[in-house]
């Protein structure tokens, strides 16, 4: 089984492609704008889930589900400002309208359309622009051997381009809001403010009398008095809105981050698939209420079992001890299962008798279903937000000798990462861990379809050939008895795998 890079896998016959505008959409500050997307081939979208979001799936600008707008996950900045254009939903076209556009709206958006388990998405860019007030130019005062002139404007977005010109039309090299004029022959000085997106420009000129220049003026007191009078006669203006990054800088940073994330995700998935191993259940470690199948790959509750406070936690371990290296296995949760369960790894010396909590400090690293939520089994019971609830989970264990390791969980339904725990270098010997907390849960370790894999065996009874593949039978469930070996625990010998067999 391969892991998809960006879209979920589906067997639906009604697959489609989402197409957005190839060029940026320009919107004026304070106005309205539509962000359109359409499907190819065209199909009715009224019963689909439609979502426009920013850089993260959870940063929703608008959500349409069950034929109505959903506001629970919407960002506060878009509350009451977005709506759906429904005119052409039946023809495969939809658009989100943003009312009273703000500077915050500038940037990249993703439109995602989902039908059943299949979804596709497209990216589009919104460029917000605003033309503000005409520039106001005033003489600020003497500066070295010249005169400092200031140019001020307000209401421009993004940061405008400022250009100074002399009376002759010659451009000054400086393109900032302040200019020091040292040549008295310049006469009129013009400040030009330009919006780089819209190409709109506003200018303002000021005349600087020759006596104002210190090097030619014989009377500085007269200069100061005249300067004060001129300053009082010139209108002031508010400073333009400052922004740390322009729209192009934001786009480049987002594209670079997306590229890095994809490369890291691809490397992780390739490593995971390479380290896939065969894992089987150890019936001797199973709770009395659990039934392990004859082929040791499935577990569920027995038809008759004891339920009570004294019955303890119904769990079972995998039969292979893991001490170093990398390995990966997948577990399928039956779609009819509505009960609670947990999957992960635990230390070989943990005490699983009676009731216990599955916490990292107690030697358990697992995720599980509690009620209707998927949670990480940690002290705070972190709830995990997923696009699609998993029916097949991949567990990737990476143990580096003398270094901190990691156990990661993946939703094999859509290929997304669920959660990761860090493992201390002293975590010791680990075993695959499975827990079922109700009768209708059915867990199955998925067989390796990419080629033969080795079966974990005791160190004191090595196989004659490490190339012998594991055989999976089609037999039913047994009661969990008749398997040689001792229960892995603090006082029992652990069933171990040779490094070559466990980590091909």
Q: How many residues does the chain have?
A: 504
Count CA atoms closer than 13 A to 190's CA, side-chain side: 13
DSSP code, position 336: T
Torsion angles phi and psi, residue 232, rounded to 5: -70, -25
Amino acid 477: pLDDT? 32
Burial of residue 107, with CB atoms counted within 10 A of its CB: 0-12 exposed, 13-18 middle, 19 or more buried? middle
Find where tokens 């209707």 sit. Answer: 372
The predicted pLDDT at position 234 comes to 56
Per-residue pLDDT at 202: 86
Tell the residue number behind the tokens 């003489």, with chain if given. 139
- Is residue 121 within 8 A of residue 112, CB to CB? The reply is yes
The pLDDT value recorded for residue 309 is 55
At 290 the pLDDT is 93
Rounded average pLDDT per 10-residue block, the chain, 504 residues: 34 74 92 94 91 91 92 92 92 94 93 92 93 80 74 84 73 63 68 84 76 54 57 50 60 77 64 74 94 94 68 90 90 82 95 91 94 90 86 90 86 88 85 89 77 32 30 31 32 28 29
CB 127 within 8 A of CB 26: yes
Tokens 């936690």, residue? 313
CA gyration radius for the chain? Answer: 34
How many Å apart are CA 133 and CA 236, to the nearest integer? 11
Sheet architecture: strand order including 118-129: 25-28, 118-129, 107-115, 49-53, 60-65, 68-69
What local confidence, expressed as pLDDT, does residue 265 receive?
58
Q: Who's near 362: CB < 8 A, 6+ residues apart?
A: 350, 356
- Strand residues in 99-200 grouped as ranges (E): 107-115, 118-129, 136-143, 146-152, 161-166, 178-181, 188-194
Cα–Cα distance for residue pair 101/94, rounded to 1 Å: 19
pLDDT number for residue 468: 31
What gap in Å lies between CA 8 and CA 37, rounded to an integer? 20
Q: 156 with 135: CB under 8 angstroms?
A: no
Q: 156, 264 in Cβ contact below 8 A?
A: no
Structure confidence at residue 101 (pLDDT): 94
What is the rounded distance in angstroms from the CA atom of residue 407 to the CA atom of residue 398? Answer: 6
Which pLDDT score is estimated for 308? 57
Residue identified by tokens 């199955």 is: 444
Q: Residue 428 in contact with residue 291, Cβ under 8 Å?
A: no
Measure the N-to-C terminal CA separation of the chain; round to a whole number of Å. 18
């Amino acid at each position: 089984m391969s892991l998809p890079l960006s879209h979920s896998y589906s067997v639906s016959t009604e697959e489609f492609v989402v197409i957005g505008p190839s060029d940026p959409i320009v919107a004026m500050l304070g106005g309205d704008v539509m962000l359109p997307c359409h499907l190819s081939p065209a199909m009715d979208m009224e019963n689909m889930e439609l979502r426009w979001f920013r850089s993260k799936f959870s940063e929703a600008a608008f959500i349409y589900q069950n034929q109505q707008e959903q506001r629970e996950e919407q960002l506060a900045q878009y509350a009451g400002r977005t709506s759906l254009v429904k005119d052409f939903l039946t023809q495969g076209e939809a658009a989100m309208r943003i009312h009273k556009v703000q500077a915050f709206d500038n940037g990249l958006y993703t439109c995602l359309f989902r039908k059943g388990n299949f979804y596709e998405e497209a990216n589009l860019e919104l460029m917000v622009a605003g033309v503000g007030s005409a520039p106001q130019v005033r003489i600020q005062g003497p500066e070295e051997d010249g005169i400092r002139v200031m140019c001020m404007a307000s209401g421009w977005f993004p940061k405008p381009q400022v250009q100074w010109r002399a009376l002759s039309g010659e451009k000054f090299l400086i393109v900032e809001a302040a200019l020091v004029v040292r040549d008295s022959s310049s006469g009129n000085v013009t400040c030009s403010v330009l919006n780089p997106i819209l190409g709109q420009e506003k200018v303002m000129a000021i005349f600087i009398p020759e006596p104002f220049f210190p090097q030619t003026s014989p009377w500085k007191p007269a200069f100061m008095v005249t300067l004060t009078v001129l300053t009082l006669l010139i209108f002031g203006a508010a400073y333009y809105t400052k922004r740390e990054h322009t729209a192009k800088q934001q786009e480049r940073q987002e594209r670079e981050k997306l590229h890095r994330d994809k490369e890291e995700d691809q490397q992780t998935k390739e490593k995971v698939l390479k380290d896939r191993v065969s894992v089987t259940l150890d019936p001797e470690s199973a709770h009395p209420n659990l039934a392990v199948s004859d082929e040791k790959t499935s577990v569920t509750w027995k038809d008759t079992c004891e339920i009570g406070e004294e019955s303890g936690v119904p769990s079972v371990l995998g039969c292979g001890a893991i001490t170093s290296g990398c390995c990966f296995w997948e577990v399928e949760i039956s779609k009819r299962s509505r009960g609670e369960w947990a999957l992960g790894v635990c230390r070989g010396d943990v005490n699983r008798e009676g009731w216990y909590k599955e916490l990292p400090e107690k030697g358990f690293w697992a995720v599980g279903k509690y009620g209707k939520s998927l949670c990480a089994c940690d002290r705070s019971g972190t709830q995990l937000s997923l696009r699609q609830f998993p029916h097949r989970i991949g567990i990737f264990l990476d143990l580096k000798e003398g270094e901190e390791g990691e156990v990661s969980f993946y939703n094999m339904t859509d290929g997304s990462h669920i959660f990761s725990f860090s493992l201390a270098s002293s975590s010791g010997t680990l075993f695959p861990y499975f827990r079922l907390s109700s009768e209708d849960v059915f867990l199955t370790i998925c067989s390796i379809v990419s080629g033969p894999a080795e079966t974990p065996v005791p160190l004191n009874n090595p196989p004659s050939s490490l190339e012998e593949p594991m055989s999976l039978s089609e037999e039913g469930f047994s009661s969990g008895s008749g398997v040689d070996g001792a229960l892995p625990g603090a006082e029992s010998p652990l069933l171990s795998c040779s490094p070559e067999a466990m980590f091909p």
